[in-house]
Structure 1
Amino acid sequence: MPSHLLSGSPPALDAAATAACLPWDALADEIAALLRDGSVAVPARTVVALAGSANLFVMPAADSRVAMAKLITLTPGNAGTRRPAIQGDVVVFDVATGERRLVLDGPTITARRTAAVSLLAARHLARAPEGPLLIVGAGVQGLAHLEAFVLGMAVREVWVASRSAASAETLVRRAHALGARARVVANADDAVPHCPLIATCTPAHAVVLAAPPRPDAFVAAVGAYTPAMAELAPALCRHVALRGHIVLDSDDARHEAGDLLQAGMDVSVLPTLRDVLHGRPIPPEGPVLFKSCGWAGWDLAAARLAVHPPVSTGHAPRATP
């Protein structure tokens, strides 16, 4: 008998079932609740270098009721093949009993919690939450940010810039299916003056945005998560620091935010999303750059929601056959 069918084994959710457990509004709310929960513990993540420039990421976190560990591989060599670059699982445990409760799809957790963190930040920091929204990068994170902002903030116009014309058109079709107007733009910088909401969602192999954002802009930069990676031009980052405000997703970004570190910025003084939710004032003028590098706390928030869904959502975990 296959091990995943043994009596007493926890439900193993595929990508679709994992996504169904994490509706955008509820996930953003759960992330906010986690940032106010004093029982949350998030050790530093472990990164194990593998052959072929691949990495294994081990990211644990726990609160008073739920513990989880995300185990994912990032394999750049899978680009252009049918194998995804990111693979893995999130294993969720009950703290009181030690029992495994769920096994969630790791790439789906990563995509949805990242976009939900951007959504939460935009709800608190965006000056023009109605958009239009410019998405730079039409991959998994581009799709997640499209859905989060259209379904979670009622954005009704989306502009898409991507190196891949086919991927950009796919994202436009998804926007239309969600009831939003959408277009492909050849140059992201040319779209910046028209879009007060911007999400850069690329692999961060090169700078993809250099134009200074509008005074009312909210920019979520999520692609770069190491000091060697950057999506934003240094001059853009310095422009926002001088004329607006920069907010980090977590304290971990202080040593991971390549966009800011390569711009020579002192990240030690920058506020985090936790600071914003705890009442630290962000003056209501100038553009806002939200720099997101990822944190296991966001995965814990997704695990908490999957194990303890709000009664109003009406969804329940479904095991894969």
Structure 2
Amino acid sequence: MTALLDAAATAAALPYPALADALEALLRDDTVVVPPRLVQPLTGGGSLFVMPAADAALAITKLITFVPDNPAHGRPAIQGDVVVFDARSGQRRAVLDGPTVTARRTAAVSLLAARRLAPRPQGPLLIVGAGVQGRAHLEAFAAGLGVRAVQVASRSAASADALVAHARGLGLEAQRVDDADAALADCPLVVSCTPAQAVALRARPRPDAFVAAVGAFTPRMVEWAPDVCRHLAATGTLVVDTRDADHEAGDLLQAGLDVAALPTLADVVRDTPAWRRARRAGGPVFFKSCGWAGWDLAAARCALAAAAR
């Protein structure tokens, strides 16, 4: 029978530490195949994403829509599903809630990168952008890194206050900050997850900072000022999530950087020559995340393993 998981059941099947482990295992698996995703523009400025992936056991397709101005109208920006099939029989195994998978696997990718790359993973943490991804990253970094203190910046004070209240409900020290640039000086962990329609950060992160930049996932989107990205390239270490970032990493592309020359998270996990050549002993680490159907395949693996238990 097909398991049909709603948002709550999907979240319960994807605890952040276990999901980060599943992501790392996927990056070590040579049977994984992920073709380019299809992005179909929609009337009104939205997009339809069709994202397939497969390994030796499973095949998945994520079908989601992204409409950036939906939250202003009381609707979620991301809607859709992840459909999971048995790769040998073709039988449908599960349908997962697409927005929940997207939120949790994106935060878990940042968690995996922080595990590997953050000079000071204990924080404090600065979250810039208090929407779905802000909440997911807060929960992921608290569960997976043991972060105990967080500052939240958002263009919406009400959204920032709501995320601060959620953090306090998790037992964290939390406060709203109105100047994200100034807060960079206090926080060695930074997550930027804004709508990425305009530059949101113009100051330089700390020399011991780890930045997970997740908001800009098309060439036209941007969160970080180009001169900051160029400074980070000159003084620190830049890593992208996958090679798809070569044509999607808006922050880095708009800074004129050669994204194709940067190591990927798979290079880090596998300790490849590309990673050994690129890494610096000191300086900030900037991790650019754009999304990839492989992350959804890892989430499907994690969810089915949870169901089997």
Bin the TM-score by the shorter chain.
Answer: over 0.9
Aligned to 1:294: 291
For residue 55 of structure 1, report the CA deviation from its aligned partner: 1.2
CA distance in 1, matches of 2:287, 2:257: 14
Where 1:90 maps in the other structure, the secondary structure is strand
Which of 291, 305, 309 is residue 308 of structure 1 equivalent to? 305
Q: Pick the structure with more strand per residue.
A: 2
1:177 maps onto 2:174 in alignment: no
For residue 53 of structure 1, report the CA deviation from its aligned partner: 1.0
For residue 316 of structure 1, report the CA deviation from its aligned partner: 6.1
CA distance in 2, matches of 1:222, 1:77: 18
CA distance in 2, matches of 1:128, 1:70: 34
Range 208-217 or range 78-87, more displaced: 78-87
For residue 283 of structure 1, report the CA deviation from its aligned partner: 2.6
Structure 1 spans left out of the alignment, 5+ residues = 1-7, 310-314
Cα deviation, 1:118-165, whole Å, max 9, x if unaligned, reads 000000000001100000000000000000001110001100000111
Cα pair 1:132 1:156 within 8 Å, conserved: yes
Where 1:68 maps in the other structure, the secondary structure is strand
Cα pair 2:207 2:284 within 8 Å, conserved: yes
CA distance in 1, matches of 2:187, 2:68: 31
Change in CA separation of 1:130 and 1:308 when aligned onto 2, cut-off 3 Å? same
Aligned to 2:261: 269
Correspondence 1:168-247 to 2 at 5 A? 168-247=160-239
Cα deviation, 1:95-116, whole Å, max 9, x if unaligned, reads 1211101100000000000000
Cα deviation, 1:145-196, whole Å, max 9, x if unaligned, reads 0000011100011000001111111111111111110000001001001000
CA distance in 2, matches of 1:77, 1:170: 20
**Number of residue equivalences:** 304
CA distance in 2, matches of 1:82, 1:263: 34
Where 2:201 maps in the other structure, the secondary structure is coil
CA-atom RMSD in angstroms: 1.2
For residue 11 of structure 1, report the CA deviation from its aligned partner: 2.0
For residue 75 of structure 1, report the CA deviation from its aligned partner: 2.0
For residue 13 of structure 1, report the CA deviation from its aligned partner: 0.9
Cα pair 1:27 1:113 within 8 Å, conserved: yes
Aligned to 1:146: 138
1:243 corresponds to which letter in structure 2?
A: T
Range 247-256 or range 170-179, more displaced: 170-179
For residue 266 of structure 1, report the CA deviation from its aligned partner: 1.0
Cα deviation, 1:212-240, whole Å, max 9, x if unaligned, reads 11110000000001111100001110111
Correspondence 1:15-30 to 2 at 5 A? 15-30=7-22
1:257 maps onto 2:254 in alignment: no
2:283 corresponds to which letter in structure 1?
A: G
Cα pair 1:90 1:105 within 8 Å, conserved: yes
Which of 122, 135, 146 is residue 130 of structure 1 equivalent to? 122
Cα pair 1:11 1:103 within 8 Å, conserved: yes
Which of 78, 82, 102 is residue 94 of structure 2 equivalent to? 102
Cα deviation, 1:263-298, whole Å, max 9, x if unaligned, reads 011112100000001113323300000000001110
Where 2:126 maps in the other structure, the secondary structure is strand
1:116 maps onto 2:108 in alignment: yes
CA distance in 1, matches of 2:293, 2:150: 29
Cα deviation, 1:75-109, whole Å, max 9, x if unaligned, reads 23423223212100000001121110110000000
For residue 257 of structure 1, report the CA deviation from its aligned partner: 0.4
Cα deviation, 1:188-208, whole Å, max 9, x if unaligned, reads 001001000000001100111
* % identical equivalent positions: 64
Range 37-46 or range 164-173, more displaced: 164-173
Structure 2 spans left out of the alignment, 5+ residues = none
Instruction: Compute the TM-score of the two structures, normalised by the length of structure 2.
Output: 0.96
